[in-house]
């Protein structure tokens, strides 16, 4: 596999750090979109292996990781991230590509498709955020399945030991059950850009107070006319019931569930996850 090249792109609101693996093949390139908003792309580095047969581009979105943080809070909005992706892709010579979005990256992928559908060959939506209302409803249901003492703690102050213990139990069940977390995931969690995350989402995975409130891209899902693959773990915080439902909203959707997996199933079951991606990408090239 070719050595990865890295650099900076002077994007909307600040520079974007990018990494590109280019095997110089005719296969359709792939762009990877990380979650958050505000989690650096480190935790997706296990997908670099796909660069052995197609160009793979990943970048830290504005405000996190090695990219710049915008000065104006008004830039923390979906449109900014869509425009930054378009500029980066165009200046990198990527006119048509597969688009992979994990978690919040799934919402970004759908929003990009809605604005530039002719640019996207296919969509891979891994444990995606599509509807804020649906995400919060799933979170409430999963919290209701925790032991009573954890439910009570999560309803109280975040400054208590009990709250932190309950939070870790939720993450163990539904975010990543590897112990310890892989270094790439730990780097992304440690590098979370609190300003962007809290402005757009909120204080944690299951409390939505930011400017994404009310966003629902279900109409875009219904309108998809390109191949779209939906992936999640059986114990994912993006629950199988919800993700499977999205996959059935258009006639081009497909759904794969990984038994025993959580929100970061690509790290828990890397071989199966990559094999599923390869098969889909090859079929849609």
Q: Residue 105 and residue 64: Cα distance in Å, rounded?
A: 14
Of 98, 174, 263, 266, the catalytic one is: 263
Both tokens of 243, joined, read 């993700």
Answer whether 128's CB lies under 8 Å from 238's CB: yes
Of 42, 60, 138, 236, the catalytic one is: 236
Of 103, 127, 131, 188, the catalytic one is: 103
Catalytic site includes residue 83: no
Catalytic site includes residue 236: yes
Both tokens of 175, joined, read 């975010």
Q: Is the CA virtual torsion 146, 147, 151, 153 positive or negative?
A: negative
- Residue 104 burial (CB < 10 Å; 0-12/13-18/19+)? buried
Catalytic site includes residue 114: no
Q: Where are the beta strands (DSSP E) in the chain?
A: 5-11, 14-21, 30-33, 56-59, 97-102, 120-126, 228-233, 253-258
- Residue 116 burial (CB < 10 Å; 0-12/13-18/19+)? middle
Q: Residue 60 and residue 40: Cα distance in Å, rounded?
A: 5
Q: Is the CA virtual torsion 172, 174, 177, 183 positive or negative?
A: negative
Could you tell me what percentage of the chain is helix, strand and coil, using 3-state DSSP and rounding each to the nearest 5? Answer: 45, 20, 40
- Residue 146 burial (CB < 10 Å; 0-12/13-18/19+)? middle
Q: Which residues are catalytic?
A: 103, 236, 263
């Amino acid at each position: 596999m070719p050595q990865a090249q890295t650099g900076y792109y002077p994007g909307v609101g600040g520079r974007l750090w990018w990494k590109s693996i280019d095997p110089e093949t005719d296969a359709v390139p792939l762009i990877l979109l990380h979650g958050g908003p505000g989690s650096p792309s480190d935790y997706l580095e296990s997908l670099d292996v796909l660069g052995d047969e197609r160009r793979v581009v990943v970048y830290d979105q504005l405000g996190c990781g090695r990219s710049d943080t915008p000065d104006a809070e008004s830039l923390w909005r979906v449109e900014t991230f869509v425009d930054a992706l378009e500029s980066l892709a165009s200046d990198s010579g990527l006119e048509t590509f597969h688009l992979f979005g994990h978690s919040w990256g799934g919402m970004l992928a759908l929003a990009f498709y809605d604005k530039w559908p002719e640019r996207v060959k296919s969509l891979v939506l891994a444990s995606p955020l599509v509807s804020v209302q649906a995400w919060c409803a799933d979170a409430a249901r999963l919290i209701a399945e925790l032991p009573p003492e954890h439910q009570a703690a999560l309803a109280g102050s975040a400054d208590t030991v009990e709250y932190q213990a309950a939070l870790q139990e939720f993450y163990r069940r539904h975010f990543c059950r590897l112990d310890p977390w892989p270094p790439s995931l730990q780097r992304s969690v440690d590098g979370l850009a609190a300003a962007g995350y809290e402005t757009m989402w909120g204080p944690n995975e299951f409390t939505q107070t930011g400017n994404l409130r009310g966003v629902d891209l279900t109409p875009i899902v219904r309108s998809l006319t390109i191949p779209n693959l939906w992936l999640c773990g059986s114990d994912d915080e993006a629950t199988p019931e919800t993700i499977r439902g999205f996959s059935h909203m258009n006639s081009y959707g497909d759904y794969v569930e990984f038994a025993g997996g959580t929100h970061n199933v690509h790290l828990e079951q890397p071989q199966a996850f990559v094999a599923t991606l390869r098969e889909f990408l090859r079929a849609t090239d």
